[in-house]
Chains A and B, each alone.
Chain A
């Protein structure tokens, strides 16, 4: 069995297996990753770092692509959903 990683998504504790993306961790806490310019909820579309719909703040760094980033133990993720 692979190790279990613990992250916080907008303060909510989630667990994912090692190797999971931050996007997979966020999906365990919320359906919406960000709000569009006009306030509509958005979530990943492309899954491969092209559409930028999955961008979140990780450990204080804004605009990180959740689908391109591997989850690590203790990460604090903020969505703008």
Chain B
């Protein structure tokens, strides 16, 4: 039997926490699921050395009345029966809903370049996440690269854990970043945040209009080559934390039949009240388009009100949501990956890390389907979550069809649970 609840929220980051707390405050019975062992999502991921931020602690206090299921990853869904199948490290469980709120968040965009599969090359947010849960970086030399303000946040966090941040390598041009910075007075809280990051990163050089051409090392990362206006600079380092922004996580939404928009990295299509194209399913936060933590919190609250039937409460928040989205749009425009980062891979560079498929093997295909059939690209354990986003960015390939169950590799006993439920 599915464990029923009125409002089921998937994802315990800023959007999901706000949705759960708001729906509960409206009197709904609420359950909250997340694949991570603790609440917070990525931006509020618990830091075992430094604890949680004030803002995160406040959000966590507000979910006191909510039933929590953490360490539970959704592997299958039945939109007709309004049930989800999830598993933790030991058990499978089915969850039912009257209203569902998807707050699945985002993941980093990685663009392949020579040497990016070496141990020591991680995501920018990726290394930050690892370090918050005890990955040792004290005294280690780190270069942070890619694009966007996440680089500054990651670098500050790595420095706070004792890493020696040698440089920040931003692909956007200096003039564009400075023009964006001059507009920050429209958003005073962002200006204050930028000032705090600048303080935390005092003394760390920032290269603009610069890219990592190559990572080198025998069995792990030893050096990287930076190309800054045609001048090559080499850094010796143990870690390269590199990310080119975020892409919405839409896997579960697609499995449930929710419509997406037509962006390069599609997001879940929602109306003003965060309703998806499927009746009874709302979505909020990064999975509806990258908008940052503030947008996610506001959209989560709108979805929480709407899911609990309080339309007036939802509508009252629309102006603040629009304002937050405007900031996100300006940000996305400034830091969109430029042409220089699209030409980094050579024919021997791995693109699909699961199946070891190279750029040379892939670039002559017309679409994802043909490439998959011939090379197994995107058919390994990550199911194209890494290479699919890269190839969408580089070649415009669409990977966003209806995903097959299970959504993630799952235990056989979990899938047996599902078939028992279907065929009693």
Contact = CB atoms under 8 A, between A and B. Distances in A.
Interface residues of A, number: 40
B350 to A, nearest CB: 8
B133 A45 contact: no
Contact of B133 (A24, A42, A53): A24
Interface string B96-125: 000000000001101000000111111101
Q: B119, B121, B381 — which one has the most chain A CB atoms within 10 A of its CB?
A: B119
A20 B49 CA distance: 10
A5 B110 CA distance: 33
Contacts of B73: 49
A19 B51 CA distance: 11
A10 B120 CA distance: 20
A80 interface: no
Given A17-B48, A36-B353, A70-B37, A24 B134 contact: yes
Contacts, number: 124
Interface in B349-380: 350, 353-356, 380
A50 B106 CA distance: 10
Contacts of B294: none
Interface string A44-67: 111111111101000000011001
Contact of A36 (B46, B89, B356): B356
Contacts of A48: 36, 42, 107, 125-126, 129
Contact of B126 (A18, A20, A46): A46
Contacts of A21: 130, 133-135
A70 B48 CA distance: 11
A47 B353 contact: no
A70 B225 CA distance: 35
B334 interface: no
A27 interface: yes
A42 B385 CA distance: 17
B219 A31 contact: yes
B162 interface: no
Contacts of B220: 31-32, 41, 43
B409 interface: yes
Q: A32, A36, A48, A53 — which one has the most chain B CB atoms within 10 A of its CB?
A: A48
B147 interface: no
Interface residues of B, number: 43
8 contacts: A18-B48, A28-B136, A45-B110, A45-B123, A46-B108, A46-B123, A49-B35, A52-B380
Q: What secondary structure prevails in chain A residues at the interface with B?
A: loop
Q: A46, A53, A68, A69 — which one has the most chain B CB atoms within 10 A of its CB?
A: A46
B129 A47 contact: yes
Contacts of A37: 354-356
B343 to A, nearest CB: 21
A16 interface: yes
Q: Can you list the 9 inter-chain pairs with the closest CB atoms, starting with the nearest?
A: A20-B134, A43-B119, A24-B134, A47-B129, A47-B126, A19-B48, A52-B381, A21-B133, A31-B220
A55 B381 contact: yes
B206 interface: no
B242 to A, nearest CB: 10
A55 to B, nearest CB: 7
B143 interface: no
